[in-house]
Amino acid sequence: MTIHDITDQFDFPRTSSHIDLRTLGLGYYSLVFKYLQNLWRDDTNLIEDVNVDEREGDETFTGSVRSYSHLRIKSQRYGAATAHRGKSARYAYIDVRKPVEIQYIFRAELPREHAPSLVANFALVREFQRGEDLPRFPWDLWYVLNFFSKHSVITNGFRALDLGVESWYSEKLGSLMVVSLEQFTGHLILAPIIVRGQDIWITVPYDHVSVLSLYW
């Protein structure tokens, strides 16, 4: 994506900061580099800044990115958990209904001498986690109905039983991963509860109608 393609998609705040990814800790530079290398593979051969085998035409990623506390996508606000102004909007869905906590919101720009700059807008997130030891809830019936509906056993009418409610381990998140900002698909309501002495997070789509419309 070039810098001319980003104006209408994302509404960034005016204030931001430049960050060297290596100052965030071990693995941040490598994680983002691999993402950008794959993203821009058709436009350039991106190499690490410690690569001593640089060839003509190679572009170097220094690890410098612009960091934002929050942004708006289609009027919906998304925020970074690591920023004071972003904490209140740090939980969101990606890829329709995968809940995540947003850690950072970044923009990387690669200036090029004989071509437009390459720009990537992305976030570092951690996915919610769950396992078989979580208690069963009434809304788990949807998973059974959804399985049969996919095999044409149950009509679409039963799909309306999908409440969008799901349960997860409390405060347990997956490893850092990079996602494009286009993958954000909405907000969620998070309700911490305790069942049989176990802390659990319950998630419900904030805009239930718009999320379900992506299925049908």
Residue 22 has pLDDT above 50, yes or no: yes
Q: Using CA atoms, how far apart are residues 112 and 4, in angstroms rounded to an integer?
A: 14
Residue 152 has pLDDT above 60, yes or no: no
Find which of 101-105, 152-156, 187-191, 195-199 is predicted with most confidence, using mean pLDDT: 101-105
**151, 106 in Cβ contact below 8 A?**
no
Q: Using CA atoms, how far apart are residues 22 and 32, in angstroms rounded to an integer?
A: 11
Mean pLDDT, rounded, for 103-117: 93
pLDDT at 84: 95
Which of the pair, 214 or 120, is modelled with greater confidence?
120
Residue 9 has pLDDT above 90, yes or no: no
pLDDT at 54: 62
Nearest to 182 by CA among 76, 90, 73: 73
**147, 108 in Cβ contact below 8 A?**
no
**109, 116 in Cβ contact below 8 A?**
no
* Percentage of the chain modeled with pLDDT above 90: 63
Residue 183 has pLDDT above 50, yes or no: yes
pLDDT at 15: 94
Q: End-to-end CA distance of the chain, in Å?
A: 29
Rounded to the nearest integer, the mean pLDDT of the chain is: 84
Q: How confident is the model at residue 212 (pLDDT cuts 50, 70, 90)?
A: very low
Mean pLDDT, rounded, for 37-66: 87
Residue 2 has pLDDT above 60, yes or no: no
pLDDT at 165: 86
Q: Using CA atoms, how far apart are residues 90 and 71, in angstroms rounded to an integer?
A: 11
Q: Look-up: residue for tokens 């997860």? A: 168
Residue 184 has pLDDT above 70, yes or no: yes
